[in-house]
Structure 1
Amino acid sequence: MSKSAPGPTPGFLVWRLANKWRVAVDRAVAPLGLTHAQYSLVASLYGMQRAGERPSQRRLADHTGLEALYVSKLARTLESAGLIERTRDPRDPRAVQLSLTEQGRTVTRQAVVVVQELLQQLLEPLGGLDAPRTRAFTDELMILLDAPLAPSAPTDEHIEGTTP
């Protein structure tokens, strides 16, 4: 059991910040017909396409950190909305490649501007998007995101108030 001072844990604060960001992005991109998860998918796809890549759903799932099944569901919804195209990969018939339609590129460019403005607002307390504190914060987040997590089963030590 930890002997640290009472107060919010880093995990709780990360969770709160993630929820604050998700809600803010959901509200900001809703007028464009997108959710935060859909925005994450189309914005990532937009960046990959600009770099000359035509990613598979699996590649996009790995890039965004979303589950492959969820990316597939989002892709079908975005395809129905006319924002992306899903095609079979000629090299691997099991894989589905994704690309933005012209309408998808237009909506995504608009959404990126909206979310960049929101990000600037969120990061203002650290000095803004290009501030040294923001760069340091981003570096720390990358360290945490890059650290592998080994799956662990709960032990009796970690479970308080339970009986065997």
Structure 2
Amino acid sequence: MSKGSEKASPGFLVWRLSTKWRVAVDRAVTPLGLTHAQYALVASLYGMQRSGERPSQRRLADHTGLEPLYVSKLARSLEAAGFLERTRDPRDPRAVQLALTEQGRERTRQAIKVVQGLLEQLLAPLGGLAGGRTQEFTRDLAILLDAPLDPLAIDSESDKEQS
């Protein structure tokens, strides 16, 4: 355990781990012409397309947890780089559907391979990707991701206590 981590709050540790991961992925995918956020978008889109889905920008935003406006910005930059196509949804002219180009699929496959190597390194102390501790950690992360977070609820609770 790193110095000072033993007394750190869970929130601080989550923040540090997410920052460590983002920086590592950014460095790993930069040679492939991607940022960490772009990687998250194309890797998610790759998986959705392999399942037969051609998602809208909104659906991809919901899937990745990124803001819709940010997904739109990322999609435009990836389109300019030749990695994806944006087309109007024939069923809803307000919606934009996304699909990886052949170049985008190839670049995404390369990036996924690189990031999988990073993930193996990260999870080695827990027994690797297939280890029991990693599976438990993954379940715990999913539980935390499903937990509602509402900053406004905190304000309303403290208002009730003061009354």
TM-score computed with the length of structure 2 as normaliser: 0.90
Deviates more, 1:143-152 or 1:26-35: 143-152
1:149 CA displacement: 1.8
Match of 2:38 in 1: 38
DSSP-derived class of the 1:98 partner: strand
Q: Could you list the runs of 4 or more consecutive aligned residues of structure 1 that deviate by over 6 angstroms after TM superposition?
A: 155-158
Identity, % of aligned positions: 75
Residue identity in the other structure for 1:66: L
Q: Deviations over 1:21-58 (max 9, x none)?
A: 00000000000000000000000000000000000000
Match of 1:68 in 2: 68
* 1:51 corresponds to 2:61: no
1:156 CA displacement: 10
Residue identity in the other structure for 1:65: G
1:68 CA displacement: 0.2
Distance 2:68 2:144 in 1: 22
DSSP-derived class of the 1:55 partner: coil
In structure 2, runs of 5+ residues without a counterpart are 1-5
Superposed counterparts of 1:1-164, under 5 Å: 7-152=7-152, 154=155
Backbone CA RMSD of aligned residues: 1.7
TM-score computed with the length of structure 1 as normaliser: 0.89
- Structure with greater helix percent: 2
1:148 CA displacement: 1.4
Q: Deviations over 1:49-95 (max 9, x none)?
A: 00000000000000000000000000000000000000000000000
